[in-house]
Amino acid sequence: MSASDWSNLTLHLKDSLTSTLGHYLDSWRDNVTAAAKALDKTMAEENVRDVIWNLAVMIGMFAFIVVAILVSTVKSKRREHSNDPYHQYIKEDWTAQKQQNGAAANFAA
């Protein structure tokens, strides 16, 4: 073998190894890209699903709190002006104490 054959052999080996490595890396990158695209698609679907659930939970909690505040406010307003015996007892007891305190103050003067 002459020196030119060895240089050609080296050149051919370099070209074949470079092309083989290039094809391998391209196919590996395509596989990784396809897997990454599939993963991104799955993650996007799951993220949308999670966002919808989070929004539903937050809206539900907000609605529950608002309804609870409204109901408690309406109940307290209704009981302030009601004629139930407990309310009347407190009202009569409070006015009786005020009258007794006023009478005691007038008596002392």
Six token digits for residue 84 = 């139930």
Q: Identify the pLDDT of residue 25.
A: 78
Residue 54 has pLDDT above 70, yes or no: yes
Contact between 29 and 21 (Cβ < 8 Å): no
Q: How many domains does the chain have?
A: 1
61-109 confidence digits (pLDDT tens): 999 999 999 988 887 666 555 666 666 666 677 676 666 666 555 555 5
Q: How far from 4 is each of 14, 17, 18, 35, 73, CA to CA, in Å?
A: 15, 20, 21, 46, 100
In degrees, rounded to 5, the angle at the alpha carbon of residue 89 between the alpha carbons of residues 76 and 96 is: 120
- Domain of 82 in residue numbering reads as 3-108
Q: How far apart are CA 72 and CA 66, in angstroms?
A: 10
13-53 confidence digits (pLDDT tens): 888 888 888 888 777 777 777 777 887 787 777 777 778 88
pTM score above 0.75: no
